[in-house]
Amino acid sequence: MSNTAKEQSKTNGKLFLQQSFAQQQEMLECQLKLSRSSITHNATMGNINEKYFIDMIKNYLPDRYAIDTGIVIDSEGKTSDQIDIIIFDNQYTPTLLDQNDHRYIPAESVYAIFEVKPHIDKNYIKYAGNKAKSVRILKRTSVSIVHAGGIYPAKKHFDIIAGIIAIDIKWDDGFGNAFKNVYNDLTDTEKLNCGLAIKGDCFDTYNDGEFTFGPYPNSLIFFLFRLLEKLQSLGTVPAIDWNAYAEQLKS
C-alpha cells in the first residue's frame, strides 16, 4: 500500500470514529430533549436523566466497576448527601443496607461521583462542589492484604473524582473565562475534576490540574474515554478495615 493510500485509510478511519460517536451523542441529546419537553415534574425528569447518563456510562465501564445512585457512608456512620451517580468497586466491596432501591456505599469503595443537572451555571457548579465535599470529608480506612508471597501494605487513598454532567451550559463562551472564575472559587474538597455539557463541550483537570477540553459533537465520548483512562490510573480501591465498621455495632 502506498503512503498516500495509507494516509487516506487513516483519514477514513478517523472520520468513521468521529461520525459514529457523534451519532451516539446526538441520540442521547434527543432523549434528554424529549424528557425536558414531555415531563413537567422536575424530580421525575431528573431521575430519568440520571438513568440515561448511568446507562451511557455503564456501556463503557469494565465489569470491575459498578455505577448507581446512592449515599456514601463511612466506618463512623457518617454519610454524604444523596449522590446522583457513583462509580464504585464491584469486585471486593459490598454495598450496605440496600432496601427499596436505596443503597449505602462504603466510602472506601468509591472511585468517582457526579451530579446530573439540567444545565451548568454558577449555582449548579457550587452545588456539585458541595456534594463532592460531602463525600470527600468522610473517613476511609485501609488495611494490609495477606497473599501467598507475603503481605501487601495498606494502600494509600487516591483522590475521589468529582464531576458535573448536564444537557447544556449557560455561559455564551462555554467553559471559558466566566466558568473558570466560578471554578476557581471552589475549595480543595469542592473541586470538580471534570464536566460535560451534552449540547456543548467537556472539560477535565486530570493532567496536574490543567484544563483539557473536548470538542462538540464528540465531547461525550471524549469525556468517557478520558474518564476511563483516569479510572485505570487509580488502580484498585484500598482494602476496607471491616473491624472499624464492626466496632460501631458494640453497645
Give catalytic residue positions. Answer: 84, 115, 117
Neighbours of 144 (CB within 10 A): 13
Burial of 106 (0-12, 13-18, 19+ CB in 10 A): buried
Determine contact, residues 78/104, Cβ cutoff 8 Å: no
Amino acid, single-letter form, for residue 201: D
Neighbours of 110 (CB within 10 A): 24
* HSE-up of residue 80 (Cα within 13 Å, Cβ side): 33
Q: Which of 229, 225, 223, 245 is nearest to 108 (CA)?
A: 245
Q: Return the sign of the alpha-carbon dihedral for residues 79, 85, 87, 90.
A: positive
Calpha distance 84→108 (Å, rounded): 18
